[in-house]
Amino acid sequence: MYLQCHNCLPVGRYVEIIKHLQRRYKKVGIIIDNASTIICIAMRKCLDYLDGDMETSHLPLHLQQLNPIKTEWGRIKAAIANTPFGDLDKMQYAIRQMIHN
């Protein structure tokens, strides 16, 4: 399961979600993306609250092989690089086409 955390939720909500996952699946681990400062701060607070009841791993910085979104964005950027779109709508359309193909 992939749970992407954003700063829009209070840390307490993340704690509730993670505790629910622990009850449901018993053994839960979290992989923390070190490149996102806001997420790391929120997750650190959450993990501190859980008091070490969970296994955590930190992704090394800039390790594209472990972060599939970076690979996909790289593929999309390479496909549309140096393409004159004329306007933002045409560029967005091209990106959507790349995502769906």
Element (H, E) at 43: helix 37-50
Tens digits of residue pLDDT in 46-61: 777 766 667 777 777 6
Whole-structure pTM value: 0.45
Q: What is the mean pLDDT of residues 23-30?
A: 78
In the predicted model, is pLDDT for residue 6 greater than 80? Answer: no
- Euclidean distance between CA atoms 13 and 32, whole angstroms: 17
* Domain range summary for the chain, segments of one domain joined by +: 1-61, 63-101
pLDDT at 89: 92
- Euclidean distance between CA atoms 81 and 42, whole angstroms: 35
In the predicted model, is pLDDT for residue 4 greater than 70? Answer: no
Q: What is the mean pLDDT of residues 63-79?
A: 77
